[in-house]
Structure formats: C-alpha cells, structure tokens
C-alpha cells in the first residue's frame, strides 16, 4: 500500500498518514524498492529494438536551488539543481534509459552509455533538443547505430533558466541533421516531453511549487527508479491500452507492485 501511494503521486508524509506508519518507514521502503527497481530496469530493458529514440532532460532540485547554495556548498554535487535524462521509444512509449545527474557533459555521457546498454545493435533515429553535449556523447557512444537530429524550438520570450514554470508562446521549430541519415520529417521530441508531464504528475518530488521536493539525492534517485519501473511494467498506457514493456515485447502481461519488487 505504501508503494501504491508513492507511485500514484502522494508525498512521503501524505503516504505515512494514509498508511498509518512513520515517515522513516516510508523512506526505508522507498530506498529498498528503488534499489531493486534500478537493478530490475537494467536486467529487463536490454537489447530493445527501437525505431526512434527521443531524449530530453527534466529539471528539479535537491534540498535547495543552485542559486541558493552557499560558498561551502558550491561544489556539493548532491545539493542544488538535478536533471533527469530520459530516453523514450516513440512507438512503444518505453523508457529505454534514464539517468539522474547534473546538466553537463559527464552526466550526458553516462546517460548515453545506458542507452547503448539498453538498445539492440541496430540502426535507429535519435532526436533531442539543442543541448550541445549530446553531440559528443552520441558520436562517441552511439555512432554505429544512431542517426541523430536535433529539434530546436523557439519561443516569444527568452528562457531565463530551466526552472521556468512555462515557456513563452511557441514561434517556430528548426530540425537539424547532426550526423547519419535521420528522417527529419519524423524528427520530434513531443513524446518524451509528454513523458516529462507524466513524471511531474505521478512523482510528487517533481511536482512544482510544493514542499515535496527532495531533501536527499539518494531518495530522489530511489523515487525515480520506482517511477520508471512502475511506468514501464505496471501502468497501462492510455493510447496503447497495454504497458510500454508489453508493447516493446519485454513481457506478456501487466505486472503488479508485488511482482515489481519481488522480481
């Protein structure tokens, strides 16, 4: 019941009240479930055949926002801005890979290495926004299988930072071939951007303008691991009428929470 509450978008304290347990009990169970889900994800999402992978990063923060860090916290990597990199298969809506880190080259390289681990050795199209570290990371890690393009959207107001709650009015979109032979007519990041909305809806730590933001990096990572495993294996996708894992051929049935944490 605790895990059901967490994956349905309840906060830690709200879950503790609903289940009549201590907050520490919820956090301990979250840590154990998150560790198991992260291992399960790496084992099950492996050699997946995809046609188009869409990549994006979603912003949140741990303990405090980057601009509020003091001098003694300037180099503390587990405090401040935190970005979740997501790789989504356009057809099956499967989250092929995810990574929690900073919005820098090192985290991008780690994310792309997870994409390589998860995908089959066959060519596929890959799309992202204009974040420049993708170019080096994909060229180094996926040059033998990815035809890469960038989709750059322009808005009426310049973004002041990734923490903005909404962009200005949409003006135009530019699709650029980076390397390989991507199909620019199908190049898009709309599906992974919609997944960002799902993540903010069903993972309370990423809901805007609340007190439910993460206080510890490890707890955020555990919550993300639980969310993505539940999304892939347990939650029926509205348009597919099956789970993303079923659509990708990884499993043949909808998993229960019990199966997820026991696998």
For 50-79, how does the pLDDT look when each residue is reduced to its tens digit (9 = 90+)? 999 999 999 999 999 999 999 999 889 999
Tokens linked to 214 = 């993460």
Phi, psi for 91 (deg, rounded to 5): -80, -50
| Segment 202-230, tens digit of pLDDT | 999 999 889 999 999 999 999 999 999 99
Confidence check: pLDDT of 3 > 80 = yes
Tokens linked to 42: 């790496």
Pairs from 9-18 (Cβ < 8 Å, separation ≥ 24): 9/201, 9/202, 9/203, 9/204, 9/207, 10/204, 11/204, 11/210, 11/212, 12/204, 12/212, 14/204
Q: In what order do the strands lie in the sheet with 52-62?
A: 95-101, 80-89, 52-62, 124-128, 146-155, 170-179
Mean pLDDT over residues 12-26, rounded? 97
Positive/negative CA dihedral, 102, 91, 232, 35: negative
Residues in the chain: 263
pLDDT single digits (tens) 36-46? 999 999 999 99
Domain locations in the chain? 2-262
Question: Can you list the pairs that 71-79 forms with residues at least 24 positions away whose Cβ atoms lie under 8 Å?
Answer: 77/102, 78/216, 78/217, 78/218, 79/217
Radius of gyration, alpha carbons of the chain: 18
* C-alpha distances in Å from residue 133, one per residue of 60, 104, 111, 185: 19, 7, 11, 24
Q: What local confidence, expressed as pLDDT, does residue 153 receive?
A: 85
**Cβ(93)–Cβ(240) below 8 Å:** yes
pLDDT at 246 over 60: yes
Residue among 23, 80, 103 at smallest CA distance from 214: 80
Q: Which CATH number fits domain 2-262: 3.30.420, 1.20.120, 3.40.1010, 1.10.10?
A: 3.30.420
Q: In this predicted structure, what is the pLDDT of residue 155?
A: 77
Q: Is the pLDDT of residue 101 over 90?
A: yes
126, burial (CB in 10 Å: exposed 0-12, middle 13-18, buried 19+): buried
């Amino acid at each position: 019941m605790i895990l059901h509450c967490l994956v349905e978008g309840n906060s830690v304290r709200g879950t503790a009240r609903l289940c009549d347990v201590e907050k520490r009990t919820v956090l301990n169970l979250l840590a154990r479930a998150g560790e198991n889900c992260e291992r399960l994800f790496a084992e099950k999402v492996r050699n997946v055949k995809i046609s188009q992978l869409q990549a994006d990063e979603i912003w949140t923060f741990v303990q405090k926002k980057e601009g509020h860090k003091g001098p003694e916290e300037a180099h503390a990597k587990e405090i401040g801005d935190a970005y979740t990199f997501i790789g989504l298969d356009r057809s099956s809506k499967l989250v092929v890979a995810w990574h929690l880190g900073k919005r820098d080259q090192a985290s991008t390289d780690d994310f792309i290495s997870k994409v390589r681990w998860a995908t089959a050795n066959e060519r596929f199209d890959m799309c992202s926004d204009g974040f420049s570290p993708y170019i080096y990371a994909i060229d180094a890690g996926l040059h033998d299988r990815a035809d890469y393009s960038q989709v750059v959207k322009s808005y009426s107001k310049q973004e002041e930072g990734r923490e903005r709650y909404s962009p200005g009015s949409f003006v135009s979109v530019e699709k650029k071939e980076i390397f390989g032979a991507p199909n620019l007519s199908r190049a898009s990041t709309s599906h992974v951007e919609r997944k960002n909305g799902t993540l903010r809806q069903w993972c309370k730590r990423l809901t805007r303008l609340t007190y439910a933001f993460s206080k510890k990096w490890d707890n955020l990572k555990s919550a993300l691991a639980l969310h993505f495993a539940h999304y892939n294996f347990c939650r029926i996708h509205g348009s597919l009428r099956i789970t993303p894992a079923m659509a990708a051929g990884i499993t043949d049935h909808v998993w229960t929470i019990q199966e997820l944490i026991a696998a």
